Structure 1
Amino acid sequence: MVKFFQHAFRFDHSWEEVTLAFFLRYPNPHARHVLAADILEQHVDPATGNLHTTRLLLKKGVIPKWGNKIVKNNEAYILEESVVDPKQQQMTARTRNVTHKRLMYIEETQHYRMHAENPAWTHVKTEARILSNVGWGLTSRIEGFGLKRFADNTARSRQGMKWVLEMLRGQHGLRGALPQNV
C-alpha cells in the first residue's frame, strides 16, 4: 500500500525571492537534520533557458524504537532534481531517497509558481508518495510513520524557508544579502 500526501501553501514573497531561497535554504535553524548539500550537476538548457540542478543532500532522520532493529544508520542520502523556468516563472523540484529505499521510499514533488491572486506572492504545491517494501506485516506501520514524519517536516521546512527569506530581505535588501558566488 502507498501513502500519499498533498499540501498547498503561499509565501508572501515574490517567485524570484522564493526560488533563490530554495537554493540557499541550507543551513538554517529549522533544518538541523540536513548535514550536507552538494551540487552534483547544474546547467542552463540553451534551447529553453531553464536552469537544471541536481543536488545530493545528506539528512539525519528519526527512527522509532521498533525501527532500530531494522536500521542501524539513521542517515540517508536524498537526490534533489530541480528545473527553474524563468520565462514562465515556475520551478519544479523532485526529491527521492537513494538509501533505505526498501525500508521506506519517499518521492516528493514541489511546484513553485507566481500566485494567481497576487504576483508578489508564490504558490507552492507539494505532493509526496511514501512506500515501504519491508513486508513482515510492518509495511503499513512504516508507511504511517513516514507519512506523519513527512507532514511534520513540511511545517518545519516552511519555517526554514521563511527564515531564509527574511535573511534575504534583511537590512541590506535582497541583493546585499547574497553570497558572492550566487
Structure 2
Amino acid sequence: MQKHPNPMNPRVVGMDVLDRHVDPSGKLHSHRLFNTEWGLPSIMMSLIGAARTKTYVQEHSVVDPVERTMEHKYTSTSFTNTISVDERLIYKPYPQNPEKTAVIQEARITVKGVSLSSYLGGLLASTTSSNANKGREAMEWLIHKLNAEIEELSASARGSIRTPTAEAFVEK
C-alpha cells in the first residue's frame, strides 16, 4: 500500500483512499484514486484530442495474509471515450520457491475513435510494459525502505530500553 509515490514513477502526483476495510476472512480491501501526470508525447495528446496531461486511475486492491497474495486492479478513468487501460497485477509466492515472489501482470488497452489507433495502442502497450519494470523496481525500493525503517525502529527500541548501570547509582 506504500508503493506510490516512488522515485521510479514520479508521475503519481496525488492519491486518495476512497475506502479501506478488512473483511470477515481477514483480507484487506482498498479502493484508491491516483492523480497522475501522463507525460504523453505531444503527438499522442493531439491524436486523442487532449489538452491536459493529468489523468485519474482507480485502484482496487486485495491483500490476503493467509494465502500471502496481493492483487491490484487499475482502471483508467480519464479519456475513457477514446482510451481505456485496465491492468491487473498479482503478487504471490513463487511455486518452486515460496520465499520468492511471482508477479503476474495483465493489461487490456482499448483505443477507439482516433486516427492511428493501432499506433497509439502499440505505444500505450510499450509504456505499460515499461511501467511493469518500474513497478518491480518500485517494490524492491519499498522493501529496502521498509527494512531500513524496521532496523531504525529496532535500534531506537534497543537504545531506549536500557538497564540501570552502576554509574546511574553513583551520587555526585
**TM-score (ref. length: structure 1):** 0.77
Q: Deviations over 1:78-104 (max 9, x none)?
A: 000011121111221100101111222
In the other structure, the counterpart of 1:103 is 82
Cα distance in 2 for partners of 1:53, 1:98 equals 17
Moved more, 145-154 or 60-69: 60-69
* 2:15 is the alignment partner of 1:25: no
- For 1:164-175, what aligned pairs fall within 5 Å after superposition? 164-170=142-148, 172-173=150-151
Instruction: Tell me the SS of whatever aligns to 2:19.
Output: strand
Instruction: Tell me the SS of whatever aligns to 2:51.
Output: coil
Q: Deviations over 1:126-173 (max 9, x none)?
A: 0000111124x3221211111111111111121111111111122743
Cα distance in 1 for partners of 2:107, 2:132 equals 11
Moved more, 115-124 or 76-85: 115-124
- Asked if the contact 1:106–1:131 (Cα under 8 Å) also holds between the matched residues in 2, the reply is yes
Instruction: Tell me the SS of whatever aligns to 2:52.
Output: coil
Gaps of 5+ in 2: 155-172
- Paired AA for residue 140 in structure 2: K
* TM-aligned CA deviation for residue 61 of structure 1: 0.8
Q: Deviations over 1:26-78 (max 9, x none)?
A: 222112111011110011111x2211110100110122232232111111100
- Asked if the contact 1:168–1:174 (Cα under 8 Å) also holds between the matched residues in 2, the reply is no
- Paired AA for residue 147 in structure 1: A
Cα RMSD of the aligned pairs, angstroms, is 1.9
* 2:117 is the alignment partner of 1:125: no
Higher helix share: 2
* TM-aligned CA deviation for residue 175 of structure 1: 6.5
Cα distance in 1 for partners of 2:42, 2:72 equals 32
Gaps of 5+ in 1: 1-22, 177-182
Cα distance in 2 for partners of 1:95, 1:65 equals 24
Higher relative contact order (CA 8 A, sep 6+): 1
In the other structure, the counterpart of 1:62 is 39
- Asked if the contact 1:95–1:107 (Cα under 8 Å) also holds between the matched residues in 2, the reply is yes
Moved more, 61-70 or 142-151: 61-70
User: Matched residue pairs, number?
Assistant: 153
In the other structure, the counterpart of 1:86 is 65
- Asked if the contact 1:104–1:142 (Cα under 8 Å) also holds between the matched residues in 2, the reply is no
Identity of aligned residues (%): 28
**TM-score (ref. length: structure 2):** 0.81
Bigger-Rg structure (1/2): 2
